[in-house]
Amino acid sequence: MAILCRDLGLLFVLDPATGSTAIGSLLCERYGGEWLPAENRPNVRRKHSTLRDLLDAGLLSLDERQKLCVATSVRNPYDRLVSIYWKRMRIGAEQLADPGFWIHRHAKPDRIAEIEWIKHHDFSSWIRRRFVRNWLPRLIRGQSPSVYEQFVDGVDIVLRYERLQQDFDDLIRRLGATPVEIPRLNVTAERARRDYRDEYDLLSRTLVRIGQRADLERFGYSF
């Protein structure tokens, strides 16, 4: 999805696992933000739609876009992958068995199968699996397996997860409003206790460097 704050002239694109849930919640509570789209549509996800998705679906015109400041957020890929692994690890068997659980409405069947697989494998095994199944085929085809490319495409400002409050404050002041503290939402407990680097062995670190090279270089991230 994206959050549209009409009074601020801001469209915030929610990039997964980059602190976007907390920012989106704050924008709705304190800055008059509204979901765009208001609910899932056949070709547009409510939570993680991109600027291009919104334009292609006619939810936002080019003229409207030109009048907005469009922002999103990114995060060190090494750190982001650890967070994703533990979020999926924490999804319990009872939740997966519940047909009303959100993942059955929003996730593809292969994502659900991956979550079940994760329960029996460590982080390094998951990275190897991800490299073989996701990144390597795209690299062979000469494509960039970028996580962020579709979310940053066409945006004006990119916030960094590593300095999220500072970047958010600068953005809000630029738009003529007073910044407030970002709430801590959707925090992965395992991530709060450990440094992301503790999860990596030499092979998994190397595979991420190869598979996520485009994002690492574009945004200046490293291990």
Phi-psi region of 176 (alpha: psi -120 to 50; beta: other; left: phi over 0): left
Tokens describing residue 24: 């989106």
The pLDDT, as a whole number, for residue 186 is 60
Cis before 16 (ω within 30): no
The tokens describing 157, both together, are 């400002």
pLDDT digits (tens, 9 = 90+) for 71-113: 999 999 999 999 999 988 887 555 555 555 555 555 556 767 7
pLDDT band at 130; cut points 50, 70, 90: very high
Per cent of the chain over pLDDT 70 is 83
Q: How far apart are CA 98 and CA 146, in angstroms?
A: 32
Answer for the pair 36, 60: CB distance below 8 angstroms, yes or no: yes
The residue assigned the tokens 């924490």 is 90
CATH architecture of structural domain 2-219: 3-Layer(aba) Sandwich (3.40)
Check: CB of residue 156 under 8 Å from CB of residue 163.
no
- The structure's pTM equals 0.85
